Structure 1
Amino acid sequence: MYPEERQQAIASLVMAKGRASVTELAQAYDVTTETVRRDLAVLDKAGIVRRVHGGAVPVRALHLVEPGVGERDVTRSEHKDAIAAAAAEFFPLSGASVLLDAGTTTMRIAAHLPTDRELVVVTNSVPIAARLATMPTVSLQLLGGRVRGVTQAAVGEQTLRVLDTMRVDIAFIGTNAISIRHGLSTPDSEEAAVKRAMVRAANYVVVAADSSKVGREDFVSFAPITSVDTLITDPEISAADRAELTDQGLEIICAGDHQ
């Protein structure tokens, strides 16, 4: 196979799968990893794929436009349900403080809040606040600020000022993308600033994200991988991605994995 043919085949595979590792491509086309890296460099320069740590993703995987809450809520919903159930095991003892980021997975986590203990819950999510407002065991603080319609999340200077004064026991954070090189990332800079402040405010950080987010990069990075204590995802995460993240010190929990 000529290099041009191999590069075209690699591009097609990356587009079809959404991500491919250097090792996987080397095995698939019976070439060395160095050859694959050269091929990916050519494809990256041509704007066909984007190189990421350990492999490549389609250029379209770098998102600048966000889907709305309704669209995201029905995407991979079974995985999100399982992730939320697993996240519930991390709720602290009575009297502790919990920070819930806005998002469709964290909204499901909120539905699992225990009723047998009193917790202080802080959130910038209007839907999460509405769900928790009538719970007698929850002392709820809704962060103020400008509400973004697409995510129904409070953002802006007012939100950041309050977060900068806080220290919470645990934060449950959502993300649009996770990669070794770019860390946790999201399309909107204001949303990224709030997420960054949430991570800083927490003694323990749990990221709840299905495996489609892993290996992707979005516009604005808000936290390095090393700032995360636990990632709760689904069993479809690749062995290579799981190993890379574990090497960075993350605890990886695959919700719904019965093996």
Structure 2
Amino acid sequence: MYAAERQQLLADRLRHDGRLSVMDLADELEVSSETIRRDLAVLERDGLAQRVHGGAVAARALMVLEPGLAQRSSTNAEQKDRIARAAIEFLPDPGGSVVMDAGTTISHLVDSIPLDHPLTAITHALPTATKLSAIPSVSLHLLGGRVRGVTAAAVGQATVDALALVQVDVGFIATNAASPSHGLSTPDAEEAAVKRALARSARMVVALFDSSKFSADHVFSFASYDDLDVVVTDTGASDRDVAALREHGIKVVLA
């Protein structure tokens, strides 16, 4: 296969699938990974692709805008409720500790916490903290930092430094996007830094997101699939997306 033919194949595949893996393509086409990377560089130069770690995504799919809190709260609300109820099984035993990310699905999770389940809970998200403070059995610790209006959550070096001193049983994290090549990602660098620190602070990392998050990558990756222990999503997830998670040893719960 000539280079031009191979690049056309990659462009067609990218338009259809939205993402490409260097290793998968190298095996399929029986060429070196460096050859595939050169092909992807050509597609990127032509504005068709955006290279990410391990491959590329369609340029149109790489998101840079972030919807506001009110818009996210009303999007896929039924799926988020189901995901939150299913995720309750991963709460630590009474007396355990959790760290909770910003995100509307995480906020739904708080609504499902039993009122008689003692927990130490740590969060940087103001809406989540407000809900947690109303649960009498929860000992709440609120992390400081600059509050982003888009997510109503603290970000910045102070937040990251505080999380570096934390070790909890379970971390519940949210994401704007998910893919095997780019992992979990978000449009904002400071949000990504906090999410990365949050994931590192937990012995078990549980990611909660609805199946629409599989459709595109965002600019800043904060966790690879290998960093995750559990993913709770909805039944709209494709067999391919679920298989990709399980290939990394992740327990997948479809709510």
Structure 2 partner of 1:244: 244
Structure-2 separation of matches of 1:55 and 1:164: 31
Structure 1 residue ranges without an equivalent (≥5): 23-32
Structure-1 separation of matches of 2:139 and 2:250: 30
Q: Taking structure 1 as reference, are residues 9 and 190 closer, same or farther at Cα in structure 2, changes over 3 Å only?
A: closer
Structure 2 residue ranges without an equivalent (≥5): 22-27, 31-35
Encode CA deviations 1:63-116: one digit per residue, 9 max, x unaligned.
112111111111111111111111111112111001110001111011111112
| Correspondence 1:142-221 to 2 at 5 A | 142-214=142-214, 216-221=216-221
- Report the CA distance between 1:45 and its aligned residue: 4.6
Structure-1 separation of matches of 2:246 and 2:10: 30
Structure-1 separation of matches of 2:254 and 2:205: 16
SS in 2 for 1:89: helix
| Correspondence 1:1-259 to 2 at 5 A | 13=16, 19=18, 34=29, 41=40, 44-50=44-50, 57-214=57-214, 216-255=216-255
Structure 1 partner of 2:24: none
Which residue identity lines up with residue 81 of structure 2 in the other structure?
D
Q: Percent identity?
A: 45
**Contact 1:69–1:151, Cα closer than 8 Å, also in 2:** yes
Which residue identity lines up with residue 246 of structure 1 in the other structure?
R
Structure-1 separation of matches of 2:180 and 2:15: 24
**How many correspondences in the alignment?**
240
Deviating more after overlay: 127-136 vs 142-151: 127-136
SS in 2 for 1:169: strand
Which residue identity lines up with residue 120 of structure 1 in the other structure?
T
- Report the CA distance between 1:177 and its aligned residue: 1.4
SS in 1 for 2:168: coil
**Contact 1:67–1:150, Cα closer than 8 Å, also in 2:** yes
Structure-2 separation of matches of 1:247 and 1:69: 33
**Contact 2:100–2:121, Cα closer than 8 Å, also in 1:** yes
Which residue identity lines up with residue 166 of structure 2 in the other structure?
M
Q: Taking structure 1 as reference, are residues 155 and 8 closer, same or farther at Cα in structure 2, changes over 3 Å only?
A: closer
Structure-2 separation of matches of 1:235 and 1:108: 18
Which residue identity lines up with residue 217 of structure 1 in the other structure?
D
Which residue identity lines up with residue 179 of structure 1 in the other structure?
S
Structure-1 separation of matches of 2:12 and 2:181: 25
State the superposition RMSD in angstroms.
2.9
* TM-score between the two structures when normalised by the length of structure 2: 0.82
Structure 2 partner of 1:29: none
* TM-score between the two structures when normalised by the length of structure 1: 0.81
Structure-2 separation of matches of 1:191 and 1:43: 29
Q: Which runs of 4+ in 1 moved over 4 A?
A: 3-14, 40-45, 49-57
SS in 1 for 2:218: coil
Structure 1 partner of 2:25: none
SS in 1 for 2:86: helix
SS in 2 for 1:63: coil
Structure-1 separation of matches of 2:216 and 2:10: 21
Deviating more after overlay: 69-78 vs 44-53: 44-53
Encode CA deviations 1:121-150: one digit per residue, 9 max, x unaligned.
111110111112122111111111110000
